[in-house]
Amino acid sequence: MSQDGFFAQVYEIVRQIPAGRVCTYGLIARCLGAPQSARMVGWAMNASHQLADVPAHRVVNRQGLLTGQHHFPGHGLMQKMLESEGVRVVANKVQDLDQVLWDPKGLSEISLKDHTPG
């Protein structure tokens, strides 16, 4: 799969993260059948900020840290966006991660392929 194809599939998953929930780079990579590619998911998220329909603020690291926050314009914007959806953040870390974590493992490969440019 090309990098563009991988990024497109990452974005399709991220678009499905419900408001008030977060997902990790690793869970997204695992859903795509590439569990060792969490860093590549991070690269995709870094490149996503021109795409208004990709809620990049809902993707955090496995500990709930807002590691992508420096890619958002304005100080604390990622945190403010999460808090506006009801996600509690303290010291740049999502609180009660186990309660707000969304796992995409239920998504089928078919639904992802249907939304990926070919």
CATH number, domain with residue 70: 1.10.10.10
pLDDT tens per residue, range 13-63: 999 999 999 999 999 999 999 999 999 999 999 999 889 999 999 999 999
Name the residue among 46, 57, 60 with its Cα closest to residue 97.
60
Give the domain range for residue 61. 3-114
Residue for token digits 């008030």? 20
Closest CA to 63 of 20, 111, 27, 32: 27
pTM for this model (two decimals): 0.87
Indicate the number of domains in the chain.
1
